[in-house]
Structure 1
């Protein structure tokens, strides 16, 4: 699990290779990832947007930006956690992702960025 803390917001990511949705013969490798966002600060925060950097082991790089996560812009109260699961496809059986969330402090509407730690997407058969 990869974890980082930025301005009192802890982000942890776990990954799993999904062979049932992958097709290696066509360079299609599917991964799921679970993100846990914990508000360790004193004020409620809202997750406004995400910006991902996605890397295949062949050197290809993609960027994905958008509002919220899985269609939501959750408000996370102090001491609470928001979790979600999403997925990513690669053209290789190994790669990585990292990024950032733009957050808003509800107390004063100030914006800040929270780092998403780099995590690795590796097909399970590569780990043997």
Structure 2
């Protein structure tokens, strides 16, 4: 589901690593969960990484204006390992809440069907 993200050192003068994770096309409920203040705080406490939301949300098929970006997270940390752990935790949360959203949208299955 997720493409490989590079963890990089944006400025060698600053002692941190970072990566970006696009969340624009994730179901709304999962986006809300991951961008909630309590989730940010919990992830910071668990991994030591800082999260920042950037970009704007654009509906599927909507043109992104020049110079703009779709909604994404910046994950920063003092080491590459911190950033990697935070990225993994974020992806797990997003997958869990995406799966929940998909289950709610799926039609009920069973022995009987109601017409």
TM tier, smaller: 0.3 to 0.5
* Bigger share in strand: 1
Question: Rg: which structure is higher?
Answer: 2
Q: State TM-score, norm by structure 1.
A: 0.35
Q: State TM-score, norm by structure 2.
A: 0.38
